[in-house]
C-alpha cells in the first residue's frame, strides 16, 4: 500500500479542504496520508472524520509542520501521528498563529511601500477558513490583484527569505519543537532536508531525539535520496517520505498520488 506522509489543507496553505484531501487520497488508492499543516492541527479532526466515513479504508494520521528558528535559515519539522487534541501543543500553536496574523499586517505595510497595496480582506476572501496565514496566501492575493502572473514570481521578487517584503514570524527552537511533538505522542521528522543551508542542524536534531528524516521528497534527486538515506543510517534515524502536496497551481506535485512511499516506511498504524 502507498502513503503520502506530508500533505497540506485549506487550514494552512493547501487548496483542498481536509474532507476533499481524504476523498482525493481514497480516489487515487492511497493507504495512508498525514495531515501536516503549518502551525495548525485544525484540519485533523475533519480529515479523521472523513476517513471514518470512507470506512477507514484510508488511514489518516494527524500531524503538524513547524518552522524552526535557525537564524537566516529555515528548518521545517514534521510531527507525525500526534494527538491533535494535546492541550500544550494547541495552546502553543495558537500563539504562533497570533504572531502570523501580526506579521501579515507588517508585510502588508511593506507591500504598500513597495507599490503593491493590498488589504487584509483581499487575503482572507481568497482563503476562507485559513487558520495559519502565510506567505503563500499573500502571494495568492497579489496574483489575484493582477500584480503578478503567478505565486512563484511573487516569491522570486518580494517574499523570498530575506526578500524586500519578507518578515519572519515566531518560531520554536529545534529542541522546543521536538519536545512539543514527542509530548503530543508523535514522531519528529525533519522535512525536506535539502532545503537546510546548515546541514549541521541534522546532527543537532538527532542528538535532541529526532526520529526520522524526510528522505523521500519530490524535489530530491536520486543522489540526494541516497545521500539522506546514508545520513539517516549514520545518525540512527528512520527514513520518511511525502509529497508536500499543497494543490497550488504550478507547484509540484500537481495531483495527490504523484509521489508516494510505502505505508510500511515508519511502521505507523
Ligand atoms: P511562511 O510559513 O508564511 O513563511 O511561508 C512558508 C511557505 O511559503 C513554505 O511552506 C512554502 O510553501 C512557501 N515558500 C517559501 N519560500 C518560497 C520560495 N522561495 N518559493 C516558493 N514558495 C516558497
Ligand atoms: Fe506550505
Ligand atoms: Fe515545509
Ligand atoms: Zn509542507
Nearest CA to ligand 1 atom 11: 136
Distance of alpha carbon 262 from alpha carbon 5, whole angstroms: 10
Predicted local confidence at residue 90, as pLDDT = 98
Query: Which residue did the predictor score with more confidence, 117 or 55?
Result: 117
Predicted local confidence at residue 123, as pLDDT = 94
pLDDT in tens, 112-162: 999 999 999 999 999 989 999 999 999 999 999 999 999 999 999 999 989
Predicted local confidence at residue 267, as pLDDT = 84
CA distances from 174 to 12, 67, 238 (A): 21, 9, 18
pTM, to two decimals: 0.95
pLDDT in tens, 240-263: 999 999 998 778 898 999 999 999
Strand blocks (E) in 156-221: 187-190, 212-216
Predicted local confidence at residue 99, as pLDDT = 98
Confidence of residue 199 (pLDDT cuts 50, 70, 90): very high
Question: 8: which 3 cell numbers?
Answer: 497540506
pLDDT in tens, 5-34: 999 999 999 999 999 999 999 999 999 999
Distance of alpha carbon 37 from alpha carbon 131, whole angstroms: 10
For residue 2, how many C-alpha atoms fall within 13 Å in the half-sphere facing its CB?
A: 15
Nearest CA to ligand 1 atom 20: 155
124 burial type by CB count under 10 A (0-12 exposed, 13-18 middle, 19+ buried): middle
Nearest CA to ligand 1 atom 3: 134
Predicted local confidence at residue 85, as pLDDT = 98
Q: Distance from the CA of 35 to the center of ligand 2, in angstroms? A: 12
Predicted local confidence at residue 70, as pLDDT = 87
Ligand (nearest to CA of 135): 1
Ligand (nearest to CA of 191): 3
Q: Of the candidates 109, 110, 122, 99, which has an alpha carbon nearest to the alpha carbon of residue 168? A: 99
Nearest CA to ligand 1 atom 16: 160
Ligand (nearest to CA of 101): 1
pLDDT in tens, 81-117: 999 999 999 999 999 999 999 999 999 999 999 999 9
Ligand 1 contacts (CB < 6 A) are 13, 38, 67, 134-136, 152, 155, 160
Decide if pLDDT at 47 tops 90. yes
Q: Measured from the CA of 151, which atom of ligand 1 is nearest? A: 21
In contact, 35 and 24? CB cutoff 8 Å: no
| Strands lying side by side in the sheet with 238-241 | 238-241, 212-216, 187-190, 73-80, 59-70, 32-35, 2-7, 261-262
Strand blocks (E) in 160-264: 187-190, 212-216, 238-241, 261-262
Task: Give me the mean pLDDT over the 171-191 stretch.
Answer: 98
Amino acid at each position: 500500500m502507498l502513503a503520502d506522509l506530508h500533505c497540506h489543507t485549506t487550514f494552512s496553505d493547501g487548496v483542498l479542504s481536509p474532507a476533499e484531501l481524504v476523498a482525493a487520497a481514497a480516489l487515487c488508492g492511497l493507504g495512508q496520508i498525514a495531515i501536516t499543516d503549518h502551525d495548525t492541527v485544525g484540519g485533523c479532526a475533519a480529515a479523521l472524520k472523513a476517513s471514518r466515513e470512507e470506512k477507514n479504508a484510508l488511514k489518516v494520521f494527524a500531524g503538524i509542520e513547524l518552522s524552526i528558528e535557525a537564524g537566516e535559515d529555515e528548518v521545517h519539522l514534521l510531527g507525525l501521528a500526534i494527538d491533535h487534541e494535546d492541550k500544550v501543543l494547541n495552546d502553543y500553536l495558537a500563539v504562533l498563529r497570533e504572531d502570523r496574523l501580526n506579521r501579515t499586517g507588517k508585510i502588508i505595510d511593506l507591500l504598500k511601500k513597495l507599490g503593491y497595496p493590498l488589504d487584509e480582506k483581499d487575503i482572507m476572501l481568497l482563503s476562507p477558513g485559513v487558520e495559519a496565514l502565510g506567505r503563500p496566501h499573500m502571494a495568492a492575493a497579489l496574483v489575484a490583484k493582477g500584480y503578478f502572473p503567478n505565486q512563484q514570481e511573487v516569491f522570486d521578487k518580494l517574499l523570498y527569505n530575506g526578500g524586500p517584503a519578507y518578515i519572519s514570524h515566531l518560531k520554536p527552537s529545534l529542541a522546543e519543537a521536538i519536545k512539543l511533538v514527542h509530548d503530543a505522542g508523535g514522531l519528529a521528522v525533519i522535512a525536506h532536508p535539502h532545503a537546510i543551508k546548515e546541514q549541521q542542524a541534522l546532527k543537532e536534531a538527532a542528538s535532541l531525539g529526532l526520529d526520522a528524516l524526510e528522505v523521500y521528497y519530490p524535489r530530491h534527486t536520486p543522489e540526494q535520496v541516497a545521500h539522506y538515506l546514508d545520513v539517516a543510517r549514520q545518525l540512527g534515524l528512520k527514513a520518511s517520505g511525502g509529497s508536500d502536496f499543497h494543490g497550488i497551481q504550478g507547484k509540484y506535485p500537481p495531483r495527490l498520488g504523484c509521489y508516494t512511499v510505502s505505508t510500511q516506511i515508519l511502521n505507523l498504524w
